[in-house]
Amino acid sequence: MLRTLICLVGPSFVVGCAQGEDGPDGSDSPANGNIVWERQFDEALANAALIPAADDVLVVVTEEGSLVALGPEDGAEIWSDEVERSAQLTWAVHLPAPDRLYLPDGAGASTFDVQAGESTRGWIPLDNGQESVAITDGSDAFALSFIGLDYGLAWSCPHGDGKSCSTHVYIGDSFQTAPAPNGDTLVVITSTDIMQTREKVNNDPSEVDWTAPLGFAPEHAPLLADGYAIVTSRDGEVAAFDTTDGSEVWTFDAETRTEGPAVVDEKAGLVLIAGNDGVIHALTLRGGVQRWSHSLQDAVLGGMTVGDDTVYAASADGMLHAFELEEGNVRWSADLGVQLVARPAVFGTSVVVADGQGGVFRVEGPGQ
């Protein structure tokens, strides 16, 4: 089965092996992961460079908005393109259909058929010519939602329609993050650090289902799971709210700056957060109680990813770590020797990570 990665344009390709690190107690090293291939590209990457868009598709976008489709088996280029990246762009991207990719692009969205073997770029304009800065997946009625941070407007595209969008929510305040769809409503956070829920079809800014003052400036869109909205700040604050009425359920303070988003695993009932002090916190979703923690040697800049009961964390000292989800024990580690900045992306037994200078690496655990 063909698997596709979308990455930035670049020239070089290297194969190598990774080294392990000492165990957390200074005893024997955990098993070593291996670098399957490495690519070095011309443009720098940011924290959100690696965006899983489907089971077999990974999106890697440069700070300048370049894209390239790669085959993960050998890293060969399939096709390339680019989008118009905004300085305020929030890369919240989802696939409403298995083979379609939507990216914010100027005053609209570019669409791509990622499996086509060539660039298939289409474009959806937004009314009023306002800038598209975020995309989130919607429901059967609304495939996509766009927001304009400066205007407090949101748009929707009917499912399967690749030509036009219509205004559907007016907030009356600018946005702080991308919206989060919750059935027939959108959970949004305004620039005044207030979380609200709105019906998707609503042009009256006075009609709000509920509001929740956060008390801090969130960095990422709310994470919705099991009736909770999880919100985090760059200062390590985590808060859980009931999505039925907006009441605060629990809070946690990691007491460190956090660059990447939190991760929620609804099956395990865990919320995971890590920051500049290198400490990973695994909190219970229902109570915010810390189930386990693990201290790394350096900051986790891009956040973490969960796949197959394993937590993957890439740290600034070049280490990629794989932990047991339930208990936090180390499964394996790999030393890539570069500062890793992006959230890891999992494809089967492989993990793709990226550094801040345009390096993209595919790593496999031992025995794969």
Sketch the domain layout of the chain as residue ranges: 4-364
Instruction: Reply yes or no on domain 4-364 having CATH 2.130.10.10.
Output: yes
Average pLDDT over every residue of 69-74: 74
Pairing between β-strand 31-32 and β-strand 330-335 as defined by DSSP bridges: parallel
Residue 329 — φ and ψ, nearest 5°? Answer: -70, 145
Which amino acid, one-letter code, is at 123? Answer: W
As a whole number of angstroms, the distance between CA 87 and CA 304 comes to 24
Residue-wise pLDDT for 188-199, tens only, equals 888 789 998 877
pTM of the shown model:
0.81
Residue-wise pLDDT for 238-257, tens only, equals 999 999 999 999 999 999 99
3-state class of 229 per DSSP? Answer: strand
User: In the structure, what pLDDT confidence band is assigned to residue 92 with cuts at 50, 70 and 90?
Assistant: very low
3-state class of 36 per DSSP? Answer: strand
